[in-house]
Amino acid sequence: MNKGGRQVMQNNSQNRTPRPDVKEAPVKQPVSEKPFIGVVTDCLRLNVRKEPDPDAPVVAIVDALTQVDVDMEGSIELFCKVRTSDGIEGFCMKKYIQLRR
């Protein structure tokens, strides 16, 4: 833009080009969002249920030593909220899941 014979630059931060010599600080996630890994133990096959209830329908079955992602915020006293490697979400009895970070 030209104002009165001099060049005026607009500050358009949405279209700025990142500078290779300047690194942005990484975004830190709250501790509660860090993933937990659970490993199926103390049983040969574990039911993944639709709801945190021992009588809820089974949506998947995972074998012993299988790793699942555990959502601690969605878990309750007796059940872990889990996601399998196939992306199936549900609930498993906590006593059969060994937690790791």
pTM for the model stands at 0.66
SS (H, E, C) 34-76: CCEEEEECCCCEEEEECCCCCCCCEEEEEECCCEEEEECCCCC
- The reply to whether 32 falls in a domain is no
- The reply to whether 26 falls in a domain is no
Q: What pLDDT digit, counting tens, does each position of 11-59 carry?
A: 555 556 666 666 665 554 444 466 799 999 999 999 999 999 999 999 9
pLDDT at 31: 45
CA atoms of 86 and 83, how far apart (whole Å): 8
The CATH number that applies at residue 49 is 2.30.30.40
Please list the residues that pair with 62 across neighbouring strands.
46
Backbone angles phi, psi at 54, to 5 degrees: -65, -15
- Domains held by the chain: number: 1
